[in-house]
């Protein structure tokens, strides 16, 4: 139930390197963790014994489902602390990572849940990376609908669900293109319409239907 700092760092590194079910090589891990391949092999045996990774000699490794759960919870802690440091302690976005690397290993479950609440359940860290919720769910930022954003959040337009001519005409008139940075000013709960702002224009309103169709990627402050 409780893991060492070293174990947590290995799990995090595997999580970072593991893309689309592919296996992670010993050498890649050694590089990532700035350690020697022999040390990786040693640790992989321990992590396998603890059922955190799937591993057979010479075949590389990947996280088990239990390992993935752990990885998400470490990422959650890391990003919540980064948010805290930037938002409450006035750290710059490039100063938060190092300190969060230490804070993330403080394991009290209660601490993290209360910190999350204190911060207002933020969904993105200062680098724009999504923060997993307490169940480990993570909103992948590539495919978020504009409608899901909240006031003050900024995002980059990166796709459309419905690409009909009418839709494109509307967006052209509003000067919204792929790559346009959009800031949410207000959200009107009555009809879910949004007041938004784009560079070099005055704020304007878009309907719920429009906001449902625009796919964006969250964009950090500066």
> Is position 115 an interface residue for its own copies (rule: CB under 8 A)?
yes
Residue 20 neighbours by CB under 8 Å, 6+ apart: none
**Only segment of 58-66, 84-92, 136-144, 186-194 that touches DNA (CB under 7 A):** 58-66
Which of its own copies, DNA, Mn ion, none does residue 36 bind (CB under 5 to 8 Å by kind)? DNA
- Whether 151 contacts 184, CB under 8 Å: yes
Number of Cβ within a 10 Å radius of residue 215: 17
Reading the block at residue 90, the tokens are 């006035």
> Is position 19 an interface residue for DNA (rule: CB under 7 A)?
no
Provide the edge-to-edge strand list for the sheet that holds 154-160: 144-145, 214-219, 154-160, 181-188, 193-197, 204-206
Q: Which residue number, 17 or 176, has a Cβ lying nearer to Mn ion? A: 17
Q: Which residue number, 110 or 173, has a Cβ lying nearer to its own copies? A: 110
Q: Which residue number, 19 or 137, has a Cβ lying nearer to DNA? A: 19
Residue with tokens 């139930």: 1
> Is position 127 an interface residue for Mn ion (rule: CB under 5 A)?
yes
Among candidate residues 28, 102, 33, the one with its CA nearest the CA of residue 62: 28
Reading the block at residue 202, the tokens are 């005055």
> Is position 91 an interface residue for its own copies (rule: CB under 8 A)?
yes
Minimum CB distance to its own copies, residue 83 (Å): 14
> Is position 26 an interface residue for DNA (rule: CB under 7 A)?
yes
Minimum CB distance to Mn ion, residue 81 (Å): 9
Give the separation between CA 60 and CA 37, rounded to whole angstroms: 12
> Is position 69 an interface residue for Mn ion (rule: CB under 5 A)?
no
> Is position 102 an interface residue for its own copies (rule: CB under 8 A)?
yes
> Is position 7 an interface residue for its own copies (rule: CB under 8 A)?
no
Among candidate residues 161, 152, 157, the one with its CA nearest the CA of residue 209: 161
> Is position 60 an interface residue for DNA (rule: CB under 7 A)?
yes
Q: Which of 2, 90, 173, 222 binds its own copies (CB under 8 A)?
A: 90
Burial class (CB in 10 A: 0-12, 13-18, 19+), 33: middle
> Rule CB under 8 A: which residues touch its own copies?
85, 88-91, 95, 98-99, 102-103, 106-108, 110-111, 114-115, 118
């Amino acid at each position: 139930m409780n893991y060492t700092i070293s174990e947590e760092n290995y799990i995090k590194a595997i999580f970072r390197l593991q893309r689309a079910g592919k296996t992670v090589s010993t050498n890649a891990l050694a590089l990532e963790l700035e350690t020697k391949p022999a040390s990786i092999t040693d640790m992989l045996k321990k992590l396998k014994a603890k059922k955190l990774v799937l591993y057979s000699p010479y075949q590389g490794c990947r996280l088990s489902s239990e390992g993935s759960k752990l990885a998400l919870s470490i990422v959650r802690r890391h990003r919540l602390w980064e948010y805290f440091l930037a938002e409450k302690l006035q750290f710059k976005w490039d100063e938060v990572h190092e300190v969060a690397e230490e804070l993330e290993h403080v394991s009290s479950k209660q601490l993290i849940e209360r910190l999350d609440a204190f911060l207002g359940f933020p969904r993105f860290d200062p680098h724009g990376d999504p923060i997993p919720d307490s169940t480990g769910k993570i909103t992948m930022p590539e495919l978020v609908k504009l409608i899901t954003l909240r006031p003050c959040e900024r995002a980059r337009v990166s796709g459309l669900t419905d690409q009909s001519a009418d839709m494109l005409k509307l967006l052209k008139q509003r000067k919204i293109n792929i790559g346009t940075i959009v800031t949410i000013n207000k959200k009107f709960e009555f009809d879910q319409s949004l007041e938004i702002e784009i560079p070099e224009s005055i704020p304007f309103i878009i309907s719920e239907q429009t906001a449902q169709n625009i796919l964006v990627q969250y964009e950090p402050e500066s």
